[in-house]
């Protein structure tokens, strides 16, 4: 009885242990499954894209940004693509523009993988597994090609002036192409635009010179207006302003002359470049034709080898059958004649093409050495003539403005002097209101020095040795005196008044007119003495 109870207890204990072990194993398996499943759940950070591929996908790969996704073991796999931007340096040099000028456009492009579903799928197909360096190389090749294509559709003036249009075309073309590999254009930075010939720099200098010239003209106009206003008070200031304006015009003409010279030099360089390009094209064409002729010569050589082989075959036939010797010799002669004819024709054609190539080369050389310098000289003469005509027009305009300003200033000065004199005359008349006859006398006295000076000037160059007065004697004079006596007495009698008038005017009369001495008048001489003195003798 006790043995059976012990066996039952043992069976019960074994059953409990089995249950415990089973539960432990089940828990272990469950934990393993949970851990395994957790290890296959992949979360996607914000700066990456999760790419899952394998059986069960509708497309070649599934792309996810943010959140998480379960990756089935064995049948699926995964990888990440970074969304960090890539900075690509584009050292573009020698890109040919629309007007055949090579430009340098060093720039920096910032690109990155896009979060757009279509672009993420493109990136997963073409960029998955590549390093950043490899992605940059692919993007750099695409950007270089599109940038050259955009530059080829624009002239140098459009690239330099309309930067907005240039940047718009670059963004449009580059973005469209890099989207095909899943990249998105973030930013474009064109650092500088230059050209090897200096054309863009010359354009900038021309624009700066024009702006400076316009500013100088505006400043000169303002200074002229201010100077004209000030000229109403000060004549010297107007003269100074005219001089400054002339200097400003001279500086402007010098700047314009330098600008025209620079533009002429650039045009000459452009013409030279076009001639050299045409020459290179003709040389390349001649080289291709020469290669064609050489190929034809090689074909003729092969033909001659085949003819020689045919001749050997004919000789073998002669050795095999003497009956056909004559026929073989005839055929051989015909073959040789035909081959010689074809050879001569081919050689003549080759020589003709060589002569044509040499003729084209000589014509190109003549165009370069003779015509191109003449065209350049013609352009230079035209530019110099236009510059000279423009300079003469501007100089004439400046001289006319200066003369007009000078005459206006002089007219205003004379007007002020006349107004001042008129005011003085008015006050003089007012001062002489009680005795109006005094005013004309004073004005005459004022002008007396000028009148005397003009009279003296009129006779200063006359040389008078003597004065002879002829008179017939008493000549019918009423008082018994002749005309000479009347003339002398009248002249001598007027001398005191002349001396008095000259004294009041502050004028020194000539010594020949004598001096006025204040003393008593001498006793009159006798009539006979006076008559003897005035008789027709030389004075």
Q: 118: closest CA among 178, 180, 163?
A: 180
pLDDT value at residue 110? 92
Q: Mind spelling out the 3-state secondary structure of 467-508?
A: CCCCCCCCCCCCCCCCHHHHHHHHHHHHHHHHHHHHHHHCCC
Distance separating alpha carbons of residues 35 and 86, to the nearest angstrom: 37
What's the confidence (pLDDT) of residue 10?
A: 58
- Residue 68 — φ and ψ, nearest 5°? -150, 170
The residue that leads in pLDDT, 192 or 432, is: 192
| Stretch 244-264: mean pLDDT | 80
Residue with tokens 């014509």: 363
Predicted pLDDT of residue 458: 67
Q: Is the pLDDT of residue 494 over 50?
A: yes
What is the C-alpha separation between 409 and 417, in angstroms, rounded? 12
More confident residue, 209 or 229: 209
pLDDT of 538 over the 60 cut: no
Tokens encoding 161: 């002036």
Quick one: which of 407, 446, 410 has its CA closest to 425? 446
DSSP state of 513: G
Query: Quick one: pLDDT band at residue 528, thresholds 50, 70, 90?
Result: very low
Judge whether 535 and 482 are in contact, CB under 8 Å. Answer: no
Q: How confident is the model at residue 120 (pLDDT cuts 50, 70, 90)?
A: confident
Instruction: Of 102, 244, 116, 265, give the one whose Cα is nearest residue 178.
Output: 116
Q: What is the mean pLDDT of the chain?
A: 76
φ, ψ of residue 121 to 5 degrees: the values are -65, -40
Of 185, 50, 42, 40, nearest in space to 111 by CA: 185
Q: Picking from 120-124, 143-147, 332-336, which range would have the lowest pLDDT averaged per residue?
A: 332-336
Q: What pLDDT was estimated at residue 464?
A: 60
Residue whose C-alpha is closest to residue 162's, from 98, 114, 225, 245: 98
Task: Please tell me which of 226-230, 237-241, 281-285, 479-483 the model is most confident about, judged by mean pLDDT.
Answer: 281-285
């Amino acid at each position: 009885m006790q043995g059976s109870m012990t066996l039952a207890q043992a069976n019960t204990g074994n059953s409990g242990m089995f249950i415990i072990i089973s539960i432990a194993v089940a828990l272990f398996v469950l934990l393993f499954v949970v851990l395994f499943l957790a290890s296959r759940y992949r979360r996607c950070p914000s700066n990456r894209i999760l790419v899952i591929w394998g059986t069960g996908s509708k497309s070649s790969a599934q792309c996810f940004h943010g959140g998480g996704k379960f990756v089935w073991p064995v049948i699926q796999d995964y990888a990440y693509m970074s969304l960090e931007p890539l900075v690509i340096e584009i050292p573009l040099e020698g890109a040919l523009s629309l007007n055949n000028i090579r430009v340098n456009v060093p720039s920096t492009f910032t690109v990155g993988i896009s979060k757009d579903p279509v672009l993420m799928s493109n990136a997963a197909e073409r960029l998955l597994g590549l390093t950043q360096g490899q992605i940059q190389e692919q993007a750099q090749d695409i950007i270089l090609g599109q940038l050259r294509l955009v530059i080829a559709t624009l002239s140098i003036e459009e690239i330099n002036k309309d930067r907005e249009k240039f940047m718009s075309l670059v963004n449009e073309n580059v973005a469209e192409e890099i989207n095909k590999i899943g990249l998105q254009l973030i930013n474009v930075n064109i650092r500088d635009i230059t050209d090897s010939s200096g054309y863009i720099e010359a354009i900038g200098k021309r624009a700066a010179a024009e702006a400076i010239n316009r500013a100088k003209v505006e400043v000169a106009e303002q200074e002229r207006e201010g100077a004209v206003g000030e000229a109403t008070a000060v004549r010297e200031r107007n003269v100074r302003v005219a001089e400054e304006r002339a200097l400003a015009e001279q500086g402007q003409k010098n700047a314009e002359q330098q600008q025209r010279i620079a533009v002429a030099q650039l045009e000459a360089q452009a013409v030279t470049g076009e001639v050299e390009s045409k020459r290179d094209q003709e040389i390349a064409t001649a080289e291709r034709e020469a290669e064609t002729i050489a190929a034809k010569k090689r074909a003729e050589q092969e033909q001659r080898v085949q003819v020689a082989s045919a001749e050997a075959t004919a000789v073998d036939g002669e050795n095999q059958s003497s009956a056909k010797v004559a026929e073989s010799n005839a055929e051989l002669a015909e073959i040789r004649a035909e081959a010689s004819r074809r050879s001569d024709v081919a050689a003549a054609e080759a020589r003709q093409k060589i002569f044509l190539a040499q003729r084209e080369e000589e014509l190109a050389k003549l165009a370069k050495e003779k015509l191109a310098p003449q065209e350049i000289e013609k352009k230079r003469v035209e530019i110099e003539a236009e510059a000279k005509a423009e300079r003469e027009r501007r100089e004439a305009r400046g001289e006319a403005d200066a003369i007009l300003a000078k005459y206006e200033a002089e007219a205003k000065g004379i007007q002020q002097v006349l107004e001042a004199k008129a005011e003085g005359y008015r006050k003089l008349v007012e001062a002489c209101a009680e005795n109006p006859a005094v005013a004309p006398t004073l004005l005459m006295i004022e002008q007396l020095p000028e009148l005397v000076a003009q009279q003296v000037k009129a006779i200063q160059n006359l040389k008078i040795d003597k004065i002879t007065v002829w008179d017939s004697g008493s000549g019918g004079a009423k008082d018994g005196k002749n005309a000479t006596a009347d003339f002398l007495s009248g002249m001598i009698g007027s001398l005191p008044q002349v001396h008095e008038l000259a004294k009041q005017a502050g004028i020194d009369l000539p010594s020949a007119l004598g001096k006025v001495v204040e003393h008593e008048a001498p006793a009159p001489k006798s009539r006979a003495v006076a008559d003897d003195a005035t008789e027709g003798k030389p004075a």
